[in-house]
């Protein structure tokens, strides 16, 4: 079982709106690959919240940890995409996913022993959801903890980043987030040296650094591995590309793939998602070329 904690929301584009939020996108991809993947989140008792519940039912996604909030609206983000396909986000505050509860049902699921727990930064902006995440992290057992940094302006602090790094085994971040971390935490100016410094300071097992068109790097133990960026057949927008990358990163670590294979497949899958309007596809046909990836690495 894989748990993903945090926001589910609607990305509102100028001409349409799509369901999104990094923890949801992560769950959706892994569910589509056949994993038992569950989202720990909260929606409003409103039209969008009911649409989320209907979406989960229609797509056979387990929704037992999706809570309904009678006082706060479902999350929304206004998205503007520049001519290069790069999005800019305006995130509405004090919404349902800011008030995720640590109820008995969640605690029972944690006691079942998930293999991996995913979390990010945005859902930690409010003390209510942040305290729930801390309750989860205090009860994880042997689960692999994956922190996908996903920093959004005015939604993070040094304290949240440091506590998240100290809690996790795997962290994924991009080159801009690496600069922010260096500014907040201090450390080496050279990227490789700073990553290794972070790994030692926070006892990280894996660090994945993405660099957009410059490719990505994966650090594990004393080794580092690199790959170029994948070809993007058709560029629509980059919304959700990072979440797609993280889903394959998680799958690769759980399945024991070689680091080079993780990088290549994650880049390929993220590139394919750039050809979609929004973060996730409308139907399962999108996944067919990739379904054999769920198998363990035979090398």
C-alpha–C-alpha distance, residues 139 and 153, integer Å? 30
C-alpha–C-alpha distance, residues 200 and 221, integer Å? 10
pLDDT digits (tens, 9 = 90+) for 221-267: 999 999 887 677 677 667 678 899 999 999 999 999 999 999 999 99
Question: Which one of 3.40.50.300, 3.30.559.10, 1.10.3720.10, 3.40.1190.20 gives the CATH number of domain 2-294?
Answer: 3.40.1190.20
pLDDT digits (tens, 9 = 90+) for 42-73: 999 999 999 999 999 999 999 999 999 999 99
pLDDT digits (tens, 9 = 90+) for 108-141: 999 999 999 999 999 999 999 999 999 999 998 8
pLDDT digits (tens, 9 = 90+) for 213-231: 889 999 999 999 998 876 7
DSSP letters spanning 129-148: HHHHHHHHHTT-TT-EEEEE
For residues 273-286, give the mean pLDDT. 76
Model confidence at 163: pLDDT above 60: yes
Q: Residue ranges per domain, the chain? A: 2-294
**Residue 107: band (very low, low, confident or very high) from pLDDT cuts 50, 70, 90:** very high
Cα dist from 209 to 30, 94, 289, whole Å: 21, 30, 25
Indicate the average pLDDT of the chain: 91
């Amino acid at each position: 079982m894989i748990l993903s904690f945090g926001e589910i929301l609607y990305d509102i584009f100028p001409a349409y709106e799509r369901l999104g939020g990094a923890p949801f996108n992560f769950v959706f991809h892994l569910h589509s690959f056949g994993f038992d993947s569950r989202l720990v989140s909260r929606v409003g008792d409103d039209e969008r919240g009911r649409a989320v519940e209907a979406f989960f039912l229609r797509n056979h996604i387990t929704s037992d940890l999706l809570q309904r909030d009678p006082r706060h609206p479902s999350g929304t983000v206004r998205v503007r995409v520049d001519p290069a396909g790069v999005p800019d986000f305006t995130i509405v505050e004090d919404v349902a996913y800011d008030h995720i509860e640590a109820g008995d049902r969640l605690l029972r699921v944690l006691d079942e022993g998930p293999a991996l727990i995913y979390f990010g930064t945005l859902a930690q902006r409010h003390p209510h959801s942040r305290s729930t995440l801390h309750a989860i992290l205090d009860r994880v057992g042997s689960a692999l903890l994956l922190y996908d940094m996903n920093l959004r302006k005015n939604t993070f602090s040094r304290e949240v980043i440091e506590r998240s790094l100290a809690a996790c085994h795997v962290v994924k971040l991009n080159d801009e987030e690496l600069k922010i971390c260096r500014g907040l935490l201090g450390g080496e100016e050279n990227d490789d040296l700073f990553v290794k410094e972070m790994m030692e300071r926070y006892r990280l097992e894996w660090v994945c650094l993405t660099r957009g068109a410059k490719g990505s790097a994966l650090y594990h133990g004393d080794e580092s591995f690199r790959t170029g960026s994948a070809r993007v057949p058709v560029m629509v927008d980059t919304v959700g590309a990072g979440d797609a990358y993280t889903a394959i990163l998680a799958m690769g670590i759980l399945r024991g793939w070689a680091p080079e294979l993780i990088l290549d497949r994650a880049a390929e899958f993220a590139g394919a998602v750039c050809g979609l309007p929004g973060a996730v596809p409308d139907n399962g046909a999108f996944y067919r070329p990739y379904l054999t990836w769920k198998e363990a690495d035979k090398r």
